[in-house]
Amino acid sequence: LPRFERTETLFGNCVGGMHNVLTMCFSLPVQSLSSLGSQQSAVSTYSVMTGKRVTVTGSMTVGIFCKGGKLNLDVVGCKDLASPHSSGLVTAYVKTYLLPDKSKDTKKKTKSMQKSRNPMFKETISYKMDQKSCENLTAQFSVWDKSRVGHNTFLGEVLIPLY
């Protein structure tokens, strides 16, 4: 399971009642577009995915749990997200991958949360795999603003290596 030297433990259960035992729960700042290069999140000021100039801000609270042939990624919520809209609100969702595999096999999403800069998802995304299969993978959590027309806007990401 991952070791985190730069993370802060927040509480015993990320999402109350989802699991009897939670391996990790933490809040990390969202960062920009590390998936374009190294496994470390590179600090970048704007979302270049859609051409919209959005300052990447905020944090994401997630949990990781591995037991009984399942890897569970708990997506609790986000706080203080940037917005590309004049209203200042976003319709956010979180997309996950298990890197280095960016195929449809590891791509999963949360439901969209309407009109908030502080969306609470309280969702668990599950992958069928044992703890040994998690080695050398990185959990990617990226947050997006869902657009009714055109492209969705990238708002930031968190990468967590699974050792």
Q: What is the pLDDT of residues 83-131, one digit of tens each?
A: 888 888 999 999 999 999 988 889 999 999 999 999 999 999 999 988 8
Comparing C-alpha atoms, which of 139, 108, 147, 151 is closest to residue 35?
139
Edge-to-edge strand list for the sheet holding 70-79: 24-29, 59-67, 70-79, 120-128
Q: What is the pTM of this model?
A: 0.75
**Model pLDDT for residues 36-85, shown as the tens digit of each residue:** 333 333 333 445 555 566 778 888 888 888 778 888 898 999 999 988 88
Under a CB-based contact definition with an 8 Å cutoff, are residues 55 and 93 in contact? no
